[in-house]
Each structure stands twice: as structure tokens, then as C-alpha cells.
Amino acid sequence: MTIKQKNILLILFTSLLWGLNGNMGAYLFDNTNVNPAGFTAMRLFLGGIFLLAATHVFDEDVFEILRTPANITWLVIYGIGGLFVMQFALYACIHYSNAPTGCLLQYCGIFLVILYAAVVMKVPPQKLTKLALVLTIVGVVLLLTKGDFGQLNISKKTMITGILAMLGYTVSNIAPLKLTVRYSTKIVAGWAMVIGGLFMTLICILTKEPLPQLQGFSLIAMCYCIVFGTVVPFSLYLACQKVVGPTIASLLGLTESVFSTIFSIFWLKEAFSASDFLGMILIFSGVVLMTIPEEFWTKKKILKRIRGNQTP
């Protein structure tokens, strides 16, 4: 097995960890007094602390980034406007619906990223954008109506938190761009997670949220979400991304929604209708189309690949 193949398998493993993470959150919401606010605060803050500590151990100065005021401003935007909004809204959406729905609605934010790139960065969208957008819109409509187009068959809270998760996803992909050019992604994300976690903790204190009462499997589930649902997969994904490239990594990362659906069905016993599955497939297909680079579809490239595969 080549190094690239090993890293591809590792990225699939990180997607599995993330897929289980959303379902662990759903389990905690249904079986303990943990709510999306407290869950987000603990996951972001403790996950950020562990990530920064692990990075610091390998002789990287995690404090240098804080010596420039402009960096702190961008970290706050990334941490609060991006990670905090995305994570809190995602888990609120999971709380009101299920893990696959929250995950897929969040990924729809890729179209807002494309819009930003086209308008602000002057990067034209791919030719398949319209097709991908149509597939995604039809998929979202099926997911929200369950095939009954006369009314919404999903709660307004699910729809609102899903839209907020999309917005948070967008900011999370745009805000750190300038910082990651000069600093390690782990350092940027680590501080943003700490800032977002502290902000959420402050909100929990002001709103007098009850402290989580965890014991037995619920304690294991929370520890999993912090360590194996945040720190471990994030670190693995970044390391493997350098080997396989961002395009393949992002495509493989989309399998998170597939694993999330599998765990929801066989572990949490979630029931999905045919329209639910069709909607999920359409959304997944639309996002995949937007992730594949345009040059992949050019005739010369495809013929070259075919000829290369036929070479003895």
C-alpha cells in the first residue's frame, strides 16, 4: 500500500469519527441534561486547549500569532462568527432533527463560499455550479417537506438552525484565509476554538445553563466528542491533506454524512423515509459536484486517465 493510499484510508477514518461525533451529540441531547449550548462550549474550549497543547509540544510557538492585534481580530471573527455559530447551530439542528440532516444542511454553505469567491475574489464559479445548485435545492426541499410540497414537515427551529449552520460554515471557510497563509492551521483553529468556546461559556453563565450531569456512557460520549470527535480527526485530516491534496481530502471528507446516516439508522434507530434518502443523495451529489475541480471533466484529462490506465 502506498503512502497516498494509507492517507486516503486515514481521511476516511476521520470522516467516520466525525460521523459518529454528531450521533454522540444526539445521544447526549436525548439522554442527559446536556444541551447544544453547553455541548458546544465544552467541545470548542477543551478541544482547542488540547489542540494547542499538542501543537506546542512539537516546538511550535502557539503564542506568536497573538502578538499582532489584527490577528486577534481575525481569530475572534473566525472563532465567534465562524466556529461558534457553525458548531452551536449544527448541534442545535441535530437536537431538533437528527445528525445527517444537520450535517448536510451545514455543507450547503459551500454555495455561499462560491458566491463570496465570485463576487469578492473574482473567481468565476465552475460550469457545473447551476446543476449542482439545482440538485441541492431539490434535495433540501425534499428533506424539509418529506415529499409533501404543500407544507413543511420539519420544524422551523430545524430550518433556522440549519441556515445558521450554513452561514457559520461559510465564515469558517473564509475568515481564516489570511491567517493560514502565515501560521499553522492547527494554531489558527486552536485559538479560534478556544475563543468560540469561551464566548459560549459566557453565554451559558449569563443564561444560567445547568452544569452537565454526566456519568457512565454519557461521560464516555462527551470525552469522545472532545478528543476523538475534535482533536484527533482534525489533526489527522490536516496531516493527510498535505499528502493527498485538498481536493481529494475534501471529497473524502464528505463521507462524514454517509457514516452519520449509517450510525443514525443502526445505533440511534432513526427512521428515514424514501424522500429523506432521495433528498440526502441529491444534496450529497450537488456538494460533490462543486468539490471536484473543473479540469477533471475536460475531455483531454479524462482520455489521458483512460489511456494511462490501459498502459501495461
Contact 244, 12 (CB under 8 A): no
pLDDT for 152 equals 59
Average pLDDT value for residue range 295-300: 56
Average pLDDT value for residue range 225-247: 83
pLDDT digits (tens, 9 = 90+) for 166-181: 999 889 888 888 888 8
pLDDT digits (tens, 9 = 90+) for 150-168: 665 678 898 899 999 999 9
Q: What confidence tier does 297 reach under pLDDT thresholds 50, 70, 90? A: low
pLDDT for 86 equals 92
Contact 133, 312 (CB under 8 A): no
Across all residues in the chain, what is the average pLDDT?
A: 84
Average pLDDT value for residue range 45-65: 89
Q: What confidence tier does 209 reach under pLDDT thresholds 50, 70, 90? A: confident
pLDDT for 293 equals 66
Q: What is the rounded CA–CA span in Å between residue 270 and residue 264?
A: 5
Average pLDDT value for residue range 78-106: 90
Least confident of 83-87, 134-138, 214-218: 134-138
Establish how many alpha carbons lie within 13 A of residue 132's alpha carbon, considering only the half-sphere containing its beta carbon: 22
pLDDT for 151 equals 61
pLDDT surpasses 70 at 294? no
Average pLDDT value for residue range 184-196: 92
Q: What confidence tier does 309 reach under pLDDT thresholds 50, 70, 90? A: very low
pLDDT for 247 equals 63
pLDDT for 310 equals 46
173-182's contacts with Cβ under 8 Å and 24+ in sequence apart are: 173/82, 173/109, 173/113, 174/82, 174/113, 174/116, 175/74, 175/77, 175/78, 175/81, 175/82, 176/74, 176/78, 176/82, 178/74, 179/65, 179/71, 179/74, 179/75, 179/78
pLDDT for 9 equals 87
Q: What confidence tier does 128 reach under pLDDT thresholds 50, 70, 90? A: confident
pLDDT for 112 equals 86
Greater pLDDT, 265 or 88? 88
Q: What is the rounded CA–CA span in Å between residue 136 and residue 116?
A: 18
pLDDT for 150 equals 61
